[in-house]
């Protein structure tokens, strides 16, 4: 009887469940890139290698030039008397001191203008939220355009209050690599403009070539937004779509009222901002367009009194066959301008720059009979 009861108790106890055997894990195969992705990766690697080689070559050239100048200076000092040597050394010190004082004075005036613009200048925002749509080389191109914008703005008599919004991720990393970027007198926001300027949403105006409203004047109360996107015609209408979804105003520059574009009316970021700066200075859209928009995008002749100013890095490659002119290659005697003290490249934009424009392109134009 006890045996039977013990058997029943044993049966009533929970029996241990058999442990499942571990299943063999499938061997993970390395993810293979598509042919298109492989081409992009190879192109980027070539670009980086070429860039590194160019940088190394410039460094070597700079070192060689410095060594050559040092030897020439030593040879000059060795070939003159003690009295003449002392005069040469003193003259060189005076010139260097004068140059540094002038540079310091110009930098101080520039900082005063930019600080004043932060308080009462026209507000212009560069929207940098499109980095995920661009390749690394396109991001680098946009960063160069922003550097150009800052340099031009700093030299303007009436600079604008410039904002960069969406300065994060790869875009932020590339911007921080710019020499002197941390010292730029400019608004830098990691947040999108719609968050950073939420309290002024009713004053936001997105400048897009697809808008129906034409911009006639610049309202000091408005905040004008420029899309920071190297388009390459892949993302047509994206800025207008974004502005509609956010419920903010849109407008386009009145380009069609003053000239006929030979291609699309999509301009680079630096061109748009420079046009706005020119309009702030001249209050004349026609002059602003003809001084900034490159010749290849406006094939007709310049109006009287308007000089052409190149606005893109590769503007020297523009077609010069405008009307009754024929271009031939000639050696250029013009030196490239030195870099800005804060790391911003010098950008041509002065009143008489059009006179030197043909030398920059290393071309000379001569009149030939028209067959048109």
pLDDT above 70 for 370: no
Distance CA 295, CA 253 (A): 18
- Verify whether residue 65 is a known catalytic residue: no
162 and 285 share one domain: yes
pLDDT above 90 for 198: yes
Please indicate whether residue 127 or residue 315 has the higher confidence score (pLDDT): 127
Domain end among 294, 309, 324: 309
pLDDT at 366: 38
DSSP bridge partners of 367 = 325
In the structure encoding, which two tokens stand for residue 315, read together? 């503007």
pLDDT above 60 for 23: no
Confidence at 344, pLDDT banded by 50, 70, 90 = very low
Q: Among the options 231, 284, 318, 356, which is catalytic?
A: 231
pLDDT at 29: 46
268 and 214 share one domain: yes
Mean pLDDT of the chain: 77
pLDDT above 90 for 205: yes
pLDDT at 272: 95
pLDDT at 309: 37
274 and 210 share one domain: yes
Distance CA 98, CA 105 (A): 11
Give the chain's length: 372
Domain end among 251, 279, 309: 309
180 and 152 share one domain: yes
Q: Tell me whether residue 349 is in a domain.
A: no
Within a 10 A sphere around the Cβ of 187, how many other Cβ atoms?
A: 16
In the structure encoding, which two tokens stand for residue 57, read together? 């070559």
164 and 91 share one domain: no
Distance CA 16, CA 23 (A): 21
Give per-residue pLDDT as tens, 75-84: 898 888 889 8
Distance CA 111, CA 81 (A): 45
**Which whole-number Å values give the CA distances from 289 to 24, 273, 304, 322, in the listed order?**
69, 11, 14, 18
187 and 109 share one domain: no
Contacts of residue 121, defined as CB under 8 A and 6 or more positions apart, other chains included, come to: 158, 159, 160, 161
- H-helix segments, 205-254: 238-246
Whole-model pTM over 0.85: no
pLDDT at 17: 56
Within a 10 A sphere around the Cβ of 345, how many other Cβ atoms?
A: 14
User: Do the beta carbons of residue 330 and residue 363 sit within 8 Å?
Assistant: yes
Overall average pLDDT of the 13-30 stretch: 52
Q: Tell me whether residue 33 is in a domain.
A: no
User: Do the beta carbons of residue 309 and residue 349 sit within 8 Å?
Assistant: yes
Q: Tell me whether residue 277 is in a domain.
A: yes
Give the DSSP H/E element, type plus range, for residue 37: helix 35-78
DSSP letter string over 274-298?
A: HHHHHHHHH--HHHHHHHHS-GGG-
Overall average pLDDT of the 177-191 stretch: 93
114 and 125 share one domain: no
pLDDT at 258: 87
91 and 190 share one domain: no
131 and 182 share one domain: yes
Strand order in the sheet with 187-189: 187-189, 161-165, 123-127, 223-227, 204-207, 249-251
Give per-residue pLDDT as tens, 30-57: 457 788 878 878 887 888 888 889 989 9
231 and 260 share one domain: yes
Confidence at 299, pLDDT banded by 50, 70, 90 = low
DSSP letter string over 341-352?
A: TTSPBP---STT
Confidence at 242, pLDDT banded by 50, 70, 90 = very high
Residue range(s) defining the domain that contains residue 134: 121-309
Overall average pLDDT of the 279-302 stretch: 81
- Direct distance between the N- and C-terminal alpha carbons of the chain, in angstroms, rounded to an integer: 123
Give per-residue pLDDT as tens, 208-238: 988 999 999 999 999 999 999 987 667 888 9
**Which whole-number Å values give the CA distances from 193 to 188, 205, 225, in the listed order?**
11, 11, 9
Domain end among 289, 309, 329: 309
What is the radius of gyration, based on Cα positions, of the chain? Answer: 31
Q: Tell me whether residue 161 is in a domain.
A: yes
104 and 195 share one domain: no
233 and 289 share one domain: yes
Distance CA 175, CA 171 (A): 6
Which span out of 239-243, 265-269, 331-335 was modeled with the highest average pLDDT?
Answer: 239-243
């Amino acid at each position: 009887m006890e045996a039977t009861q013990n058997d029943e108790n044993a049966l009533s106890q929970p029996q241990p469940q058999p442990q499942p055997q571990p299943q063999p894990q499938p061997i993970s195969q390395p993810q293979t890139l598509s042919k298109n992705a492989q081409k992009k990766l190879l192109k980027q690697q070539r670009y980086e290698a070429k860039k590194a080689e160019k940088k190394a070559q410039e460094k070597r050239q700079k070192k060689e030039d410095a060594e050559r100048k040092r030897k020439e200076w030593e040879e000059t000092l060795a070939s003159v008397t003690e009295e003449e040597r002392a005069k040469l050394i003193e003259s060189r010190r005076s010139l260097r001191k004068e140059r540094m004082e002038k540079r310091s004075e110009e930098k101080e005036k520039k900082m005063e203008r930019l600080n004043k613009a932060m308080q009462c200048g026209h507000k212009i925002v560069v929207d940098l939220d499109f980095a995920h749509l661009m390749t690394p080389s396109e991001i680098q191109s946009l960063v160069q355009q922003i550097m150009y914008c800052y340099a031009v703005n700093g030299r303007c008599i009436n600079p604008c209050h410039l904002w960069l919004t969406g300065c994060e991720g790869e875009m932020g990393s590339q911007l921080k690599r710019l020499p002197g970027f941390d010292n730029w007198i400019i608004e830098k926001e990691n947040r999108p403009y719609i968050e950073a300027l939420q309290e002024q949403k009713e004053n936001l105006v997105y400048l897009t070539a697809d808008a129906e409203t034409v911009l006639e004047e610049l309202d000091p109360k408005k905040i004008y937004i420029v899309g920071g996107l190297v388009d390459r015609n892949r993302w047509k209408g994206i800025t207008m779509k974004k502005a509609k979804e956010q419920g903010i105003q849109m407008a386009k520059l009145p380009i069609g009222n003053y000239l006929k574009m030979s291609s699309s009316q999509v301009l680079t970021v630096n061109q748009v901002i420079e046009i706005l700066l020119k309009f702030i200075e001249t209050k004349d859209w026609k002059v602003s367009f003809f001084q900034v928009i490159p010749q290849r995008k406006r094939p007709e002749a310049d109006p009287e009194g308007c000089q052409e100013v190149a606005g893109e890095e590769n503007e020297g490659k523009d077609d010069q066959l405008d009307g009754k002119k024929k271009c031939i290659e000639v050696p250029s005697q013009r030196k490239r301008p030195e870099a800005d003290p804060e790391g911003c490249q010098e950008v041509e934009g002065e009143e008489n720059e059009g006179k030197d424009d043909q030398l920059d392109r290393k071309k000379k134009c001569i009149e030939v009979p028209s067959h048109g």
